[in-house]
Each structure stands twice: as structure tokens, then as C-alpha cells.
Amino acid sequence: MTKVSRSARLFEVIQLLRNAKGPVLAREIAEALEISIRTVYRDIASLQAMQTPIIGEPGVGYVMREGYDLPPINFDVEEAESISVGLSLIARTGDPSLWRAARRASRKLHEAAPGTRQLLTSAWGVENVTKVNLSELRKAIRDERKMNIEYCDVEQQRTERTIWPLVLIYYVDAVLLMAWCELRTDVRHFRLDRVKKANLLSDTFLGQSDALIEQWEVEQKHNVVPMREL
């Protein structure tokens, strides 16, 4: 296993605590970062000595006080998105050490550009031809703007739908869009090569993405299609 530098490991500890919804045990940090519990205790003590606002103690768990920020990474939106997808694709190399390093890098990237959480890849490759403007679609996801699409299903039936674009998933033979469909009043997956027309609307669904994505993620845990999220 490739050894992670101490500074990178301290960053990871901070990230885990900042993203946690409650106290995190030293054992949980050790398992997540693949280090010993004794190392976790040393790292927490070092961070506290550097005035990092971590409170807690062994056996109880640790919490990061709200309002602690890290310096931003200077990527523009599309640069961050391209790096996020590229890091995801490293999973296909079969190199566990490289994949762990990619996950660490991705967590740092997500801190600077939270919207990259909404770009996923499968573990087996990406090939797709679509008439949809992917840059425009990704912006619609970030801005929580509705879209009107004309969709042709596997039986060649065409329907016009108003959708709320939520997540892009890059598979080996297609790019899928997960979206809330107003026609079906439910989450649906759309192959972009079957989208014949797509237009941005002025209507938005501001503030509703996170809850829909979380619900979808829970449902996907039982999906037989292997997917990896950074």
C-alpha cells in the first residue's frame, strides 16, 4: 500500500469530520483512512495543537465545530468537473493503491467544487454519442433549472417531458441522466442518445436536488449495476 504523507492524512481527517453529521469515533476514522487507531489519536492531538476546532475524546467521538473552512482550490467549474470524471475512471485500472489515491484527491476536489458530486461513472468505461449539449446539461444540474426534452424509449415511443436534471452517470455504452420526471412524477433514468431534443426552461427547482439525490442513492445501494461514486 502506498504511504500517504502526514499532511495529506491530516487533511483527510479534517474532511471526514467536516462532512460527518455527528461524532466520529477514532475507530471509524482509522477504518476510513486505513491507519491505526493510535495514529488517529496522534493526528487529532496534532490538529488540536494547531488550533483546528476539533472537540471530543477517545471513546466518545470527535466533532468539528461549524464554520471551519479550508483554502479553496482555484479550478473553474468545467475544470473541476473534468478532473472529477477523470479521477473516477481510475477505478478501471484495477490498481487499488491508485484508486485510493484518486479517492483522496477527489474528496479534496469536492470540497472546492461540491457540484462534482453529481457526476458519476461506472467501473467499466464510457462510450457515447449524443446530440445533447453536455456542458449545458451540467450547468442545468448546477443551477437546478428544468428542461424540456423529447425522449424516444426502447420501443421507439416518443414522449415530451419536463424534467429536473439531477445526476449524470457515465456508462460503457451510454451516458445516463437521472432526473425527476414531471410526467411520471418520479425519478427516471434517460439515455442521452435517446434524447432527440433538449431545451432549458426558465423554471427552476431550487433547493430540491439534495433530498432527491439522497433518496435515489439509498435506492441505488440495492442496484445490481456496479457504480462507484467519489
**H or E segment and range at residue 50:** none
What's the pLDDT at 82? 82
pLDDT, tens digit, for every residue of 161-204?
999 999 988 776 778 899 999 999 999 999 998 999 999 999 99
User: Domains (ranges, CATH) in the chain?
Assistant: 6-64 (1.10.10.10), 82-230 (no CATH)
| Chain CA centroid to CA 25, Å | 24
What's the pLDDT at 103? 82
- Give the separation between CA 155 and CA 149, rounded to whole angstroms: 17
What's the pLDDT at 169? 84
What's the pLDDT at 5? 73
Q: What is the pTM of this model?
A: 0.53
pLDDT, tens digit, for every residue of 57-74?
778 899 988 777 665 556
89 grid coordinates: 475512471
Nearest by Cα to 205 from 139, 146, 118, 142? 146
What's the pLDDT at 1? 47
Under-50 pLDDT residues of the chain:
1-2, 126-128, 224-230
- Give the separation between CA 30 and CA 34, rounded to whole angstroms: 6
